[in-house]
Amino acid sequence: MIAFHPSPALRRSFRTFITLASLAALSACSSLPNEWQSSLVGNKPVAATSKTGANLLGAAAAGNAEALAIEANRSNEPGLITRPLPVDALKADKSSTGQQGDEEGRTAVGKPTDPFRPELSLNLDDAEANKDLWARLRKGFALPELNSELVADHERWYSTRPDYVQRMTERANRYLFHVVEEIERRQMPTELALLPFIESAFNPQAMSSARASGIWQFMPATGKDFELTQNLFRDDRRDVLASTRAALDYLQRLHRLFGDWHLALAAYNWGEGNVQRAIKRNEKAGLPTDYLSLNMPDETRHYLPKLHAVRNIVARPDSFGLSLMPIENHPYFVSVPIQRDMDVAVAARLAQIPLQDFQALNPSMNKPVILAAGTPQVLLPYDNASQFIHNLHRHRGPLATWTAWVVPKTMRPAEAARQVGMSETELRSLNKIPARMLVKSGSTLLVPRPHQREQDVSESVADNAMMSLAPDLPPMRRLTVKAGKRDTVASIAKRYKVTPAQVAGWNKVGTSAKFKRAQAIVVYVPVKAGKGRAMAASRHTSDDDGNKASKRGGKQQRKAVASSDKAGKGRTTAAASGKSRQAAAKLTARAKVRAQAPSRQSNKLRVAGAP
């Protein structure tokens, strides 16, 4: 089969033609919310809002190329991408527009901008750079060389695994342009754009055993330090734009701290405190403090050699017998605003892209629903952005079948499931609730959205949704036990069938602590067991109701239970207590049988006052 590969110019012209047709249709939809309006200038989506958006749509509908160019040039809003427009695609009839294109077939429009920084213009005049992002990347290489044999080792490793390199570059194709844009804006070495190859193989869903996540592998705590939201519905450590900003902020801070890119990168991997301590150790020993001279873990020792190996392969792929997949030097995606909660599957369907492609561009979503209050925009391939807007406007019916529910009180999952109309199994599975756990008050759960519900999830819930669980333990009773002569934390724990850690925690002592004789010890036991054990240890115990067994009471009880009488077959407890002057109700609690109840033949009844 022969595959047809149109040139970039031809593809851009075709996209422009399709876009103008779509815009003409959209301009007739006066009820379309301003925030949802979007158009394409050239082959790039333009987020059109308020007056600018209306003017863009009107200019496109009228076929006025100059007006469209002027309005596009005026706009400087987040998500705006513009590109010089071929006159053939926009030029209207001379009598209606009164304008013609310039000699080069282009209209005078504003410089292209990037979603990262709308104020940053893109230089797309370089024909070579325009078609090859790798060439642009090579021009910014600025890291000093690393004289280590490990670099050659990793070059050999990558060069013998072309399939692995191919998979990495295929994933990088979606994100690399935007990373390079931000690095160049900050005037940082462009080798840093290759760091996600080392960290995650450019997989935004990558999760390490230490819980680092995203293409830049942020730990939870570090992510919070750099304002990467992590809640029930989203994890911005996986958000490509947000995490890239945070990673470059962090690398710049480390470079200011150490004044050396190699040390900054080592600190990014190992931690700045560890690198500082390693430097101090070398200074104290009179040793050099450069990267290669520091004593560090193997992972950090190999970290920079891996990066330099990838840099060398990108610089000279032919020298290593590799061929890099071409990556075009233009944005892969654009930001599109949303105003209503929306299922992830619905968003993908409206954009007419496979679900996995939508998730690859929006990997921060933790749940199958996008909460507009917390995630007010989605990323889409720029070829699909206008289609998404068009389909969204025509859509009828619910956009979201899921919503967030805040638990009003601590409850079992079964009770929560009944309240929201779903099975306990489904609720547990959807919200990852383990067995024998309670859902604490204030927790947020993902539940089906009622058909009649119109209100979306609030911003406070969308930004702070968390789930807290507590062990589903039986009711516990607090006992205060007086320690014996040789009692320890371990002996008390064994006696009451709890763990030493629990006893230590209840009494604020260590797990190996010893108690003084008659020292008051707090323990918690199940209610049923607590009652029995409280009677068994009545001399030493007071319960949480303040009922204390004094020494005097203990002597009276021992006197009361000193005698016993063998119960015969068919005899009742009242009959068995006939020799006693006390009523059957005064029987000691140890018999654990009710008054007037038939006693088993083998039971021994201890009768108060019996001889």
Same domain for 417 and 515, yes or no, is no
The answer to whether the CB of 272 falls within 8 A of the CB of 225 is no
In the prediction, which pLDDT does 77 show?
34
Please report whether residue 556 resides in a domain: no
Could you report the per-residue pLDDT of 453-469, keeping only the tens digit for each?
Answer: 889 999 999 999 999 99
Give the confidence band of 102 by pLDDT, cuts at 50, 70, 90.
Answer: very low
Decide which of 230 and 538 is more confident. 230
In the prediction, which pLDDT does 505 show?
94
The answer to whether the CB of 268 falls within 8 A of the CB of 251 is yes
Same domain for 193 and 314, yes or no, is yes
Using the predicted structure, report yes or no on whether residue 61 has a pLDDT greater than 50. Answer: no
The answer to whether the CB of 521 falls within 8 A of the CB of 482 is yes
Using the predicted structure, report yes or no on whether residue 117 has a pLDDT greater than 80. Answer: no
In the prediction, which pLDDT does 474 show?
82
Same domain for 536 and 608, yes or no, is no
Same domain for 104 and 161, yes or no, is no
Using the predicted structure, report yes or no on whether residue 424 has a pLDDT greater than 90. Answer: yes
- 481 in helix, strand or coil? strand
Using the predicted structure, report yes or no on whether residue 49 has a pLDDT greater than 70. Answer: no
What is the domain-level CATH number for residue 518? 3.10.350
Same domain for 483 and 466, yes or no, is no
Please report whether residue 244 resides in a domain: yes
Same domain for 17 and 86, yes or no, is yes
Same domain for 427 and 372, yes or no, is no
* β-strand partners of 343: 369
Average pLDDT on 392-409 reads: 95
Give the confidence band of 116 by pLDDT, cuts at 50, 70, 90.
Answer: low
SS3 content of the chain, % helix, strand, coil (to 5): 45, 10, 40
Q: Are strands 541-543 and 520-526 parallel, antiparallel or unpaired?
A: unpaired
Could you tell me the sign of the dihedral formed by the alpha carbons of 357, 358, 361, 364, in that order? negative
In the prediction, which pLDDT does 585 show?
47
In the prediction, which pLDDT does 48 show?
35
Give the confidence band of 473 by pLDDT, cuts at 50, 70, 90.
Answer: confident
Q: Which of 394, 424, 443 is the last residue of a domain?
A: 394
Same domain for 234 and 316, yes or no, is yes
- The whole domain housing 186 covers 128-320
In the prediction, which pLDDT does 141 show?
98
Report the interhelical angle of 162-185 vs 149-159 (nearest 10°).
120
Compute the distance between CA of residue 578 and CA of residue 386 in angstroms, rounded to an integer. Answer: 96
Give the CA distances from residue 127 to residues 131, 164, 179, in Å, rounded to whole numbers and listed in that order: 7, 30, 21
Same domain for 249 and 312, yes or no, is yes
Using the predicted structure, report yes or no on whether residue 125 has a pLDDT greater than 60. Answer: no
Using the predicted structure, report yes or no on whether residue 375 has a pLDDT greater than 60. Answer: yes
Q: Tell me the one-letter amino acid at 8.
A: P
In the prediction, which pLDDT does 111 show?
35
Decide which of 341 and 65 is more confident. 341
In the prediction, which pLDDT does 384 show?
94
28: DSSP letter: T
Percentage of the chain exceeding pLDDT 70? 65
Could you report the per-residue pLDDT of 217-226, keeping only the tens digit for each?
Answer: 999 999 999 9
In the prediction, which pLDDT does 101 show?
35
Same domain for 358 and 451, yes or no, is no
Please report whether residue 594 resides in a domain: yes
Could you report the per-residue pLDDT of 523-532, keeping only the tens digit for each?
Answer: 998 886 545 4
Could you report the per-residue pLDDT of 161-218, keeping only the tens digit for each?
Answer: 999 999 999 999 999 999 999 999 999 999 999 999 999 999 999 999 999 999 999 9
First to last CA, the chain: 108
Please report whether residue 326 resides in a domain: no
Same domain for 370 and 314, yes or no, is no
In the prediction, which pLDDT does 115 show?
53
In the prediction, which pLDDT does 527 show?
80
Phi, psi values for residue 346, rounded to 5°:
-65, -45
Q: Which of 320, 347, 364 is the last residue of a domain?
A: 320
Please report whether residue 312 resides in a domain: yes
- 387 in helix, strand or coil? helix
Using the predicted structure, report yes or no on whether residue 597 has a pLDDT greater than 70. Answer: no
Q: Is 271 exposed, middle or buried (0-12, 13-18, 19+ CB in 10 A)?
A: middle
Q: Tell me the one-letter amino acid at 43.
A: N
Compute the distance between CA of residue 542 and CA of residue 522 in angstroms, rounded to an integer. Answer: 10
Q: Which string of b and e fits 401-412 if b means at least 16 CB within 10 Å?
A: bbbbbebeebbe
Could you report the per-residue pLDDT of 249-271, keeping only the tens digit for each?
Answer: 999 999 999 999 999 999 999 99
Catalytic residue among 155, 191, 199, 299: 199
Decide which of 384 and 49 is more confident. 384
Same domain for 18 and 49, yes or no, is yes
Please report whether residue 314 resides in a domain: yes
- DSSP E strand boundaries for 182-301: none
**Domains in the chain, number:** 6
In the prediction, which pLDDT does 452 show?
84
Q: Which of 118, 140, 175 is the last residue of a domain?
A: 118
Please report whether residue 47 resides in a domain: yes
What is the domain-level CATH number for residue 203? 1.10.530.10
Q: Tell me the one-letter amino acid at 267.
A: A
Please report whether residue 325 resides in a domain: no
Average pLDDT on 550-572 reads: 42
Residue with tokens 């850690």: 501
Using the predicted structure, report yes or no on whether residue 496 has a pLDDT greater than 80. Answer: yes
Decide if 155 is catalytic. no
> Taking all residues of the chain, what is their mean pLDDT, rounded to a whole number?
77
How many Cβ atoms are within 10 Å of 550's Cβ, its own excluded?
Answer: 11
In the prediction, which pLDDT does 565 show?
41
82-91, 248-257, 532-541: the lowest-pLDDT one: 82-91
55-69, 76-90, 459-473: the lowest-pLDDT one: 76-90
Residue with tokens 């410089």: 111
